[in-house]
Structure 1
Amino acid sequence: MPQKKKILIRIGSLRHGGAEKVLVTFLKNLPQDQYEIDLLLNLYSGKYLSEVPDWINIIYLNKGEMITTNRIQDIPKKAARVIYQNALKKFPKLLYNGKLKGKKYDIEFAAIHGMRDEILNSPLKSSKKIVWIHNDLSEVKEYTEAEIKKFFGFDKIMVISEKIERLFLELAENEIQKSKIVKIYNPLDTDEILVKAEQPVVNYEFEQNIPTFISVGTVFPQKGFDRLLKVHKKLLEEGFKHKILIVGNGYDFENIKKLKTELNLDETATMLGFTDNPYPYFKNADFYILSSRYEGFPTVLFEAITLKKKIIATEVSGVKEMLNNGELGLIVENSEAGIYSGMKKVLLDSQDFEKYTDKLKDYKMPFNLENSVQKIISILDKM
């Protein structure tokens, strides 16, 4: 029997983000008999922990919930975590000889771009190294061209959209670097989404005659929820009755909540916080709106398409691919003005959206779970 490949996978935590969801979906569909996997988390936390298959060994640097506030009582714990993680990053041999017990891995895998240095600085020189890029790094201000070029230190760079692929191809300095780039659409489970959408809605009332726009995502500045609330305010002032429902949590949650109150929107905009199952809310809302400033390949649009929602999305990486160049939903300029024009258009004439609904009816997703998983497996097996 061939020996199992030993793989180390690194990610921050398994909280509720697109990259985390995609990683766990991938792990659930991996053949157990071929791999021995250690999943190393900076923080043992998150909704997807319970979904990791039993045969995968979870190792962690810290345990407990993420500390997103700066309350006096939380600062020592937060500081201790950071100091510990930074020490292990600076002296990786401590981590590999300690927590990882001197194990030799065939493959080391950064499941998000933020784990680049941790994997590239590994003391294991013989291991093959892979990174999974989920964001358009040209839109992230700390990623200069020089910083992005450091990713060519990996043996394989997995990217999730055409735009990200183009970025890396443009920065590649030779054919060897170009050959490292491979585009793989995110593995996502449509059946799971459809089943979960049938569950009842809790803690929210949808009103029949008032259109509801839903937006789902981790509450970070990247997601543009501040822009969404400002547009919502403007449209209400112009007499367009509608509601906003934001589902998700994140370090910017309190800031967005405060903005909602400052704009006097507490009656019409709801921040539901985190929920295990956002799909019933998707299903019952009238429109899905993506207000992001940047993305890699917005997983959430895959979910909205699966549930045949009427979609408005800012033109960020991955959107044109997912919405078939605007056949399946309205793509608007990536700005507050763009979001405003899209929402106003639909509130003025929702019939105009029927053309998208018709296209969605028989639409078959070109990116499916099996293809994506098989493509990643073939990369692992060739290394």
Structure 2
Amino acid sequence: MSSITEGDFMKDQDDVEENHRESLLKDDKKKKPPPKKSCSMASRNVSVRFNPVFAMASISFFTFFSFIFFFCFYLKREEIPPSENLLLALIFVAITLFFASRNKALINQGIVCFKERLHFSKPNSKPVQWFIGETQCSKRFNNSNNIKEKEKLQPVVREGVEFYSNGDFYEGEFHKGKCNGSGVYNYFVKGRYEGDWVEGRYDGYGVESWSRGSRYRGQYRQGLRHGYGVYRFYTGDSYAGEWSNGQSHGVGVQTCADGSCYVGDFKSGVKHGLGCYHFRNGDKYAGEYFGDKMHGFGIYHFANGHCYEGSWHEGRKQGYGMYTFRSGDTRCGEWDAGNLRTPLPPVTDAVLRAVQAARKTAANAIKLRRVDEQVNKAVLAANRAATAARVAAIRAVQNRMDGKFCDMDV
């Protein structure tokens, strides 16, 4: 009886589970959570509302009746011939199967309700956790023979080391398999970066150095120099100021190894806008730049005391202007490619307008705002970020030696 009843129950249970899986798939397509089943829900095969008390009473009655019927004849087995005993046993099995088939859905729901009541009666039971596949950490814990059931998993170590096919390697913090936080990236025979990371890119503050001696300290955004920072070239040149998308852009100071210096506007890596240039020979220029050349209006003071005030074109005197010698003599007129083409009196309107525009532009270039304070703050922040990155790199190497690092995140 137990084997036949259990088989029917398992078959029906498989049907219920199959229907339940199909309903889950439909609900997932609709992006709605599946409804929770309980003992108070109506059965699919029974039209009346399910009553758990009635189901348990029915099951108890059928079981009691079957045992009484069986033992009554079993106690008199000596008075009844064996053939009749076999016939009675078959009749007992047939009656039991008949009642079970008529109340199959009711019995199944009663058993489910009994299991749910048994489950809720255990307040100290642990929740079931589901995992798909195995991670490196789970494999290592599963292979250990000294782990006890009461021990808790340690938090995942965030620091680690990752090597790349081109010879580069990273030491530092990870998040979801990407460089994130503080870390050091070492380029193969080229240089390294120490600082902040976001989603696998330089982002925040950091220090970037190259094998030839160049170095940058400052801000980054999405892998490019962006914000304020200082770049020192291996040749001795340097730039301190604003950056945008990896290039000097905004106000900055460019100092060259030969002693020359430019303070002013930059655009996409070249001098563009207002600025002052101090040449190595002692000459000075204050005015407009376009495409890294003197272009527009400006004043050029020569080291020998001479001065030109007027318009410029691609680094040469072009247009109207006035050239003043050290002695005080002047030459005014229209200039072409650095040479005076058409001499004019100093009181000519065109010459006066050009001289006034040059003086005004030079004054604005000299009063141009400075960003020294912002640059200094960015450099200090970059140094702190580089120190934190080196600490994270040391932890990463130690974790790799101890075998603690897992490239995962909880």
Range into which the TM-score falls when normalised by the shorter chain: under 0.3
Higher helix share: 1
Higher strand share: 2
Larger Rg: 2
TM-score by length of 1: 0.22
